Amino acid sequence: MRKYLLSTSALASAALLSSVAIADVTVTGEAEFDYSAKDHNIAVHDGAIMSNVQEVHINFTNKTDSGLTISATNQFNTQSGNSDDVSFSVSGGFGKLVFGSTEGAADSYAMNPLGLLAEEDGGILNDGTAGSSDTTASISTSTGSGEANGTSKVSYHLPAIGGLTAGVSMDTLATESGSDDATTFGANYALTAGGAAVTLGYATTTYEVDGAADKDTTSMGIKVVHGNISVAAADGSYTAADEDRSTQSAAISYNMGNGLTVGFGTVQSEDDLDAGEEYTANHYEASYSVASGLTAVVNVSDFDYKVATSTHENGSTGVNLNGTTTSLTLKAAF
């Protein structure tokens, strides 16, 4: 009788397993160690600093009998214990639906030229006085999408139509009251011209603010890849209560072969509502592939920030800021 019960239990377990989808699982990771020397016109920001980040990525993928692909992404920072990207998606002939804390449509399609670089530093934009350590200048340091990361959202991405890809996202910013919903949209169009791969990008983000002006960000740009050379340029804008910023950026990257890539990026931003407020930064970079999965990056970034003549965006004293950051970063992928 005991043998019979064991046999039937084994058969039941096998039947149960056969009815449950078995997903493909991949586990990867990355580690990064950085040494930065900062030369800043504010003494409290002068000096050198070391930092490290490690992440574990666990991904699941399952294909259903009906042809749908269901995937789940789990990215964790093992140093801080925080999650970086926790989401799942359902894709098929209709396109792709994504749910969870991950990048939305604006981040997916925005054209940010500084993405051609690996380790640019935008500078420390506060004057270091007591009480202002968290008061960072309200100026744009890139032509990114302006989309909030780490909040739960739902996104829909259209299936590719020729060279056109596009998507839209909705985000409630995880609050229960007030009118603070967010909507983002992005699109790319890819084509070939003169032997070069050309991508045009557009993204827009709107955050509703209860009792105040909405926060609107737009970004449009172009990226051209021809052989070992990649070039990108973009124009962005940001409007909100007491904010009307315009930002331009450009970058170039050249793969010199033998594992060595060099790059340069520049960005300039100003706020038309705060007279005299301007930000400029230049980034110089060289990366070298030491071995498979191991890369060394040397970056030099300099910035100059001029505060508004009427209001002090970076703290209490209203001093202009400038500085240079020189960094060596080791990146390992597993």
Between CA 46 and CA 8 the distance in angstroms is: 72
Length of the chain (residues) = 334
With bands split at pLDDT 50, 70 and 90, how would you rate the model's confidence at 289? very high
Q: Give me the amino acid identity at 249.
A: S
Angle at 189 between CA 249 and CA 161, to 5 degrees: 160
For the chain, what percent of residues have pLDDT higher than 90? 63
What pLDDT does 169 receive? 95
- Please say if the pLDDT value at position 88 is more than 60: yes
Amino acid 10: pLDDT: 44
The predicted pLDDT at position 247 comes to 96
Rounded to two decimals, the pTM is 0.85
Alpha helices in the chain (DSSP H): 2-19, 105-109
Residue 34 and residue 50 in contact, taking contact as beta carbons nearer than 8 Å = yes
pLDDT at 178 over 70: no
Mean pLDDT, the chain, whole residue set: 86
Residue 118 has pLDDT above 70, yes or no: yes
Nearest to 221 by CA among 159, 284, 265: 265
Percent of the chain with pLDDT over 70: 86
CA geometry: angle at 311 spanning 305 and 317, to 5°? 70
Q: Which residues contact 175 (CB under 8 A, 6 or more apart)?
A: none
Q: Are strands 215-226 and 196-207 parallel, antiparallel or unpaired?
A: antiparallel
CATH topology of domain 24-333: Porin (2.40.160)
Say how far apart CA 124 and CA 121 lie, in whole Å: 9
Q: Distance from first CA to last CA of the chain, Å, rounded? A: 51
> What gap in Å lies between CA 232 and CA 264, rounded to an integer?
11
Whether the CB-CB separation of 71 and 60 falls below 8 Å is answered with yes
